[in-house]
């Protein structure tokens, strides 16, 4: 299980070098949900580790959210063992928290907050210094557009984030790959993914933004490339000042 097609290898290494994601001696844990993206992240990083001149260790951590239907723990364990990476399975009661707050807060926001907290806490307590999130290019583009449309700010997913509370560095080495690239690799490599056990549907804002980008890309070929280019901080920014003259004088 160490064959990684060349274009994938090149794009992941490009991300690692350009954004200094991995350093010698890193103890890296991949957040493994069982979905195609995180299964591919484990596979790809394990293949890369075998031939890497930068020595680093690799593990996988699965946070079980505690839904009625549970993940196939044995299958995930076997997958990791075939890759020769250690596997941690953390059962939680996050599903109960989601249910209790369902009327006031979005299930996905609650889920994401508690799942990340559990993952970072476990990683930090067990000596890992980096955690991998398997976000890809489409996730970054959707986040970029969602931030503008639904939060009124310009920003996308960072390649690397230092978390001051736990000391963990979150890295996203798959962001030069599109979602389609990953789906293709998962089929080609025959990786078995886990069925979705969550009874909630995905965040509506993200699903709507994904659909919007897909429709626009169908109509205009350059939309995808333009969005990717717009996410670079060296792009010419022609933005308004922080506030208008009237607002500035009334607030002083």
| Residue nearer to ligand SF4 on the CB measure, 22 or 157 | 157
- Contacting ligand SF4 within 183-202 (CB under 6 A): 198, 200, 202
Among the residue ranges 8-16, 105-113, 171-179, 182-190, the one whose residues contact ligand SF4 (CB under 6 A): 105-113
| Residue nearer to ligand SF4 on the CB measure, 183 or 198 | 198
Please tell me whether residue 13 binds ligand SF4 under the rule CB under 6 A. Answer: no
Q: Minimum distance from CB of 88 to ligand SF4 (Å)?
A: 19
Q: Answer yes or no: are the C-beta atoms of 231 and 138 closer than 8 Å.
A: no
Site string for ligand SF4, 65-104 (x = CB under 6 A): ----------------------------------------
Q: Minimum distance from CB of 201 to ligand SF4 (Å)?
A: 7
> What is the Cβ-side half-sphere exposure of residue 225, based on CA atoms within 13 angstroms?
3
Please tell me whether residue 216 binds ligand SF4 under the rule CB under 6 A. Answer: no
| Residue nearer to ligand SF4 on the CB measure, 41 or 111 | 111
Q: Minimum distance from CB of 251 to ligand SF4 (Å)?
A: 38
With CB under 6 A as the rule, give the number of residues binding ligand SF4: 7
Name, in order, each residue with C-beta under 8 angstroms of 165's C-beta and a sequence gap of 6 or more.
120
User: Token pair of 35, please?
Assistant: 């979905």
Please tell me whether residue 117 binds ligand SF4 under the rule CB under 6 A. Answer: no
List the end-to-end C-alpha distance of the chain, in Å, as a whole number. 64
Q: Which residues bind ligand SF4 (CB under 6 A)?
A: 107-108, 111-112, 198, 200, 202
């Amino acid at each position: 299980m160490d064959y990684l097609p060349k274009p994938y290898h090149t794009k992941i290494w490009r991300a690692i070098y350009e954004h200094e994601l991995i350093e010698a001696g890193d103890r890296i844990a991949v957040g493994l949900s069982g979905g195609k993206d995180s299964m591919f992240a484990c596979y790809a990083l394990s293949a890369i580790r075998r031939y890497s001149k930068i020595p680093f260790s690799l593990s996988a951590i699965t946070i079980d959210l505690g839904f009625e239907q549970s993940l196939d723990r044995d299958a995930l364990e076997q997958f990791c063992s075939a890759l020769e990476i250690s596997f941690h399975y953390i059962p939680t009661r996050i599903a109960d928290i989601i249910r209790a707050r369902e009327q006031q807060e979005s299930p996905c926001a609650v889920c994401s907050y508690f799942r990340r907290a559990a993952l970072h806490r476990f990683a930090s307590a067990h000596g890992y210094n980096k955690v991998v999130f398997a976000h890809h290019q489409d996730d970054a583009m959707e986040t970029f557009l969602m931030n503008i449309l639904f939060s009124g700010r310009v920003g996308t997913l960072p390649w690397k984030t230092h978390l001051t509370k736990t000391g963990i560095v979150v890295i996203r080495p798959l962001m030069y790959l599109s979602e389609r690239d990953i789906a293709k690799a998962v089929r080609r490599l025959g990786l078995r993914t886990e069925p979705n056990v969550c009874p909630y549907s995905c965040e509506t804002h993200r699903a709507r933004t994904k659909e919007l980008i897909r429709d626009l890309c169908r109509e205009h070929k350059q939309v995808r490339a333009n969005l990717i280019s717009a996410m670079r901080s060296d792009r010419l920014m022609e933005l308004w000042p922080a506030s208008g003259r009237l607002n500035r004088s009334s607030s002083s």
